Amino acid sequence: MRDAATEMADRSAAPGTEEHRDIVTAVRYHEAVARFADEDELAAYFHPDAVHTQLPNALAPEGTVRDLPSLLAASRRGRGFLTEQRFDVSNAFASGGRVAVEAVWTGTLAVPLGELPAGHVLRAHVAAILEFRDGRILAQRNYDCYEPLRPAAP
């Protein structure tokens, strides 16, 4: 049985190519993040010299730049803020060792965030650019566009 990552890769790259492998890896990585994979599993997706850049957005107005240990620590902390999350990947394309992923992320708050109550569902339209080296993610840049962060109307 073929998984969603392979099917996504088949739409954009010839099977057996580096581009196909990188798309499969990028989609599976997003699936691992969504299910709160442990640090060892997440680390396996990354090159040891990996850098993750989150461009400024509603939740990180200054943006962030993290090396691999900082990225894994942030993932660990993030598990306490959400009860569940998912990425609905709609597109993934590869060229020259880079994969562009387009997805919609949703996450349900485990704890209040500002005026947002626990249980509130956050939603962001995401574009992620992943650069690969030796089959692993060397760099990731996220462009996260959050829908308005306001409590639901009574």
pLDDT by residue (tens digit) across 105-136?
999 999 999 999 999 999 999 999 999 999 99
DSSP result, 102-144: EEEEEEEESS-BTTBPTTPEEEEEEEEEEEEETTEEEEEEEEE
Take residue 21 and report the two structure tokens written for it: 């492998």
Mean pLDDT of the chain: 93
* 2 band by pLDDT with thresholds 50, 70 and 90: low
If you average pLDDT over residues 124-152, what whole number do you get? 95
Domain ranges of the chain: 4-146
pLDDT confidence of residue 13: 82
pLDDT by residue (tens digit) across 54-95?
999 999 999 999 999 999 999 988 889 999 999 999 999 999
- CATH dotted code for 4-146: 3.10.450.50
If you average pLDDT over residues 5-15, what whole number do you get? 81
Which residue in the block uniquely carries the two structure tokens 């989150």? 54
